[in-house]
């Protein structure tokens, strides 16, 4: 047969999905799996927007309508509606600064293609969203990471750490805010520091802000589009997926005030003709989703987060920081190997007929070793299920063969001693024994 391309062979496999066959097997054995591994919200999609799409499709059916290509940049009416949405969030952009995309993923792919040469480097605080790897690989760009620390809740690493890794190949800094996988919400001050660096070295600033609506405890989201003097540097990736619990709509956008980047991205947009029309009809109506919807969603996520944070922190040897946004958190676990543990949960463990599925944090680090004792938890389950899942996790850690001796977690100590900025890094205890069985 003809051979596969070299790039194809090097494409990373999805770190999050590799455990799926084990979960499927567990379910086949009758074990209930609490999915704490995927960012698929269970919150209802706004009924008003669904109904608007329903009416639109019905009218087209009634009146012999044609489902046409939309403008390659997205329907003008939808782009205007999006600009109204952004305006309400303190972001002033115009419809010709917005390209509607096939989900946020396509926005990323477009920007990477337009901005990055082979060998160019993107600096990203880690842990980071694993799918960025594929889009970087597609343009042979290199992701360079700065570790953020669980002890500070994964706050922005000191700006000096960024400067240490800047080279002539550095082309962009990328942040996800609120953060997937950590749930960290960057402060205005932190973003100003990033802005200073971006200006100093004339870099692109890529920002994934798809969790903008999910900010807790009275904290306000600050967008990179509100940073002054970075009009030609900043590219925003956005999506309706999480905002309206509408991941299947596949409607995102790329926003930039840099007209050259926009013009070149439009060549890509035109080559693939247009973004999905049904999703745009939905998205346009969803812009009018009432604030009560978001208030209720936010209250629900705060309650869920609290269940997770309390549930994890009461387990000996575990530590969960207090995330201020999104619906993820990365936790420390007293285990030999998070890949092995997460697989073992699915293959060898159950408690009252149930188990939990976590995402090993190894996939969120350039060097998997850094995530060897961590896992990402998504709180997209109802409170009752989350409580049951926390109980499952607690029981699992009592019997997991690769469990490490419980000490008070260094991270937990550091986090509780708020005045200890120079806390010693958490030491990795050596792996005790290899216990995973084959599925």
Q: Indicate the SS3 state at residue 35.
A: strand
Does the footprint of a second copy cover residue 268 (CB under 8 A)? Answer: yes
Find the part of the chain contacting a second copy (CB under 8 A) among 45-53, 185-193, 367-375, 418-426. Answer: 45-53
Strands 359-360 and 374-378, bridge-based pairing: antiparallel
Q: Quickly tell me which residue has 């997926």 as its tokens.
A: 241
Helix orientation angle between 20-28 and 338-347, rounded to the nearest 10 degrees:
20
What's the CA gap between 83 and 80, in Å, rounded? 5
Per CB under 8 A, the list member of 40, 94, 167, 219 interacting with a second copy is: 40
Concatenating the DSSP letter of every residue in 97-126 gives: GEEEESHHHHHHHHHHHHH--TT-EEEEEE
Q: Which is nearer to a second copy, 129 or 341 (CB)?
A: 129
The piece of 2-10, 145-153, 290-298, 317-325 that touches a second copy (CB under 8 A) is: 2-10
Backbone angles phi, psi at 413, to 5 degrees: -55, -50
- Rounded distance, CA 210 to CA 214, Å? 9
Q: Is 404 in the site for a second copy (CB under 8 A)?
A: no
Q: With respect to a second copy, which residue has the nearer C-beta, 280 or 350?
A: 280
| Residues of this chain, 50-79, that bind a second copy according to CB under 8 A | 50-51, 53-58, 60-62, 64-70
- Please give the C-alpha separations between residue 392 and each of 239, 246, 300, in angstroms, as whole numbers: 33, 29, 22
Name the CA dihedral angle for 406, 408, 411, 412, rounded to a multiple of 10 degrees: 120
Backbone angles phi, psi at 92, to 5 degrees: -100, 110
φ, ψ dihedrals at 293, nearest 5°: -60, -50
Residue 8 makes contact with a second copy by CB under 8 A: yes
For the bound state, the minimum distance from the C-beta of residue 49 to a second copy, rounded and expressed in Å, comes to 8
DSSP labels for 279-298? HHHHHHHHTT--HHHHHHHH
**Nearest approach, Cβ of residue 280 and a second copy (Å):** 8
| Comparison of 241 and 350: residue with beta carbon closer to a second copy | 241
**Which region, left, alpha or beta, applies to residue 385 given φ > 0 means left and ψ of -120 to 50 means alpha?**
alpha
Q: Which of residues 272-311 bind a second copy (CB under 8 A)?
A: 272-279, 282
365 forms part of the interface with a second copy (CB under 8 A): no
Q: Say which DSSP state 336 is in.
A: S
**Binding status of residue 270 toward a second copy by CB under 8 A:** yes
**Candidates 10-18, 23-31, 142-150, 410-418; binding stretch for a second copy (CB under 8 A):** 10-18
Q: Is 1 in the site for a second copy (CB under 8 A)?
A: yes
Comparing CB distances to a second copy, the nearer of 6 and 418 is: 6
**Is 155 one of the binding residues for a second copy (CB under 8 A)?**
no
Buried b (16+ CB within 10 A) or exposed e, 292-310: ebeeebeebbeebbebbbe
Q: How far is the CB of 86 from a second copy (least distance, A)?
A: 22
Interatomic CA distance for residues 308 and 380, integer angstroms:
11
271 touches a second copy (CB under 8 A)? yes
The site that binds a second copy (CB under 8 A) totals a number of residues, namely: 86
Q: How far is the CB of 71 from a second copy (least distance, A)?
A: 10
Binding mask 164-203 for a second copy (x = CB under 8 A): -------xx-----------------------------xx
Instruction: Output 207 or 415, the one with its CB closest to a second copy.
Output: 207
Least Å from the CB of residue 120 to a second copy: 8
79-138 residues near a second copy, rule: CB under 8 A: 102-103, 105-106, 109, 113-117, 120, 131, 134-135, 138
Supply the DSSP string of 200-230, one letter for each residue. HHT-EEEEE-TTTT-B-TT-----GGGSTT-
- Which of residues 220 and 272 has its CB atom nearest to a second copy in the complex? 272
Q: Which of 25, 47, 192, 399 binds a second copy (CB under 8 A)?
A: 47
- Token readout for 205 is 């600033």
DSSP label at 315? S
Min dist CB 227 to a second copy, Å, is 15
Q: How far is the CB of 3 from a second copy (least distance, A)?
A: 8
Q: Are 139 and 268 in contact (CB under 8 A)?
A: no
Query: Binding residue for a second copy (CB under 8 A) from 23, 261, 318, 393?
Result: 261
Q: Which CB atom, from 77 or from 152, has the smaller least distance to a second copy?
A: 77
Separation between Cα atoms, residue 397 and residue 50, nearest integer Å: 43
User: What would the x/- binding string for a second copy be over residues 212 to 251, using CB under 8 A?
Assistant: --------------------xx-------x---xxxxxx-
Confirm or reject binding of residue 436 to a second copy (CB under 8 A): no
User: Residue 106 or residue 348: which is nearer to a second copy going by CB?
Assistant: 106
């Amino acid at each position: 047969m003809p051979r596969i391309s070299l790039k194809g062979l090097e494409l990373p496999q999805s770190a999050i999905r590799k455990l799926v066959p084990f979960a499927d097997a567990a379910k086949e054995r009758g074990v209930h799996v609490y999915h704490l591994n995927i960012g698929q919200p269970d919150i209802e999609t706004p009924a008003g927007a669904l109904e608007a799409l329903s009416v639109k499709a019905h009218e087209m059916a009634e009146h012999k309508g044609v489902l046409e290509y939309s403008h390659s940049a997205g329907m003008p009416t939808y782009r205007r509606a999006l600009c109204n949405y952004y305006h309400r969030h303190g972001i002033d952009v115009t419809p010709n600064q917005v390209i509607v995309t096939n989900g946020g993923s396509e926005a990323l792919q477009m920007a990477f293609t337009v901005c990055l040469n082979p060998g160019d480097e993107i600096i990203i605080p880690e842990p980071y969203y694993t799918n960025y790897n594929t889009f970087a690989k597609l343009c042979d760009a290199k992701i360079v990471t700065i570790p953020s620390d669980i002890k500070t809740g994964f706050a922005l690493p000191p700006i000096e750490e960024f400067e240490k890794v800047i080279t002539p190949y550095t082309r962009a800094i990328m942040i996800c805010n609120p953060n997937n996988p950590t749930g960290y919400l960057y402060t205005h001050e932190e973003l100003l520091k990033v802005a200073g660096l971006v200006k100093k070295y004339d870099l692109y600033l890529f920002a994934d802000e798809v969790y903008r609506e999910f900010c807790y405890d009275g904290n306000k989201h600050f967008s990179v589009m509100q940073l002054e003097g970075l009009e030609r540097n900043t590219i925003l990736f956005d999506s309706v997926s999480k905002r309206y619990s509408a991941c299947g709509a596949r409607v995102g956008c790329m926003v930039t005030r840099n007209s050259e980047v926009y013009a070149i991205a439009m060549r890509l947009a035109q080559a693939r003709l247009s973004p999905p029309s049904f999703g745009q009809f939905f998205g346009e109506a969803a812009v009018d989703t009432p604030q009560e919807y978001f208030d209720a969603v936010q209250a629900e996520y705060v309650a869920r987060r609290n269940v997770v944070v309390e549930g994890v922190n009461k387990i000996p040897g575990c530590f969960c920081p207090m995330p201020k946004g999104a619906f993820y958190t990365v936790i420390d676990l007293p285990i030999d190997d998070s890949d092995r543990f997460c697989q073992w949960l699915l293959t060898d463990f159950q408690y009252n007929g149930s188990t939990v599925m976590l995402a090993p944090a190894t996939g969120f680090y350039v060097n998997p070793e850094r995530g060897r004792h961590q896992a990402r938890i998504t709180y997209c389950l109802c409170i009752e299920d989350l409580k049951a899942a926390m109980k499952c996790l607690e029981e699992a850690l009592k019997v997991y063969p690769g469990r490490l001796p419980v000490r008070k977690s260094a991270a937990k100590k550091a986090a509780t001693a708020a005045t200890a900025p120079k806390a010693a890094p958490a030491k990795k205890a050596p792996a005790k024994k290899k216990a995973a069985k084959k599925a």
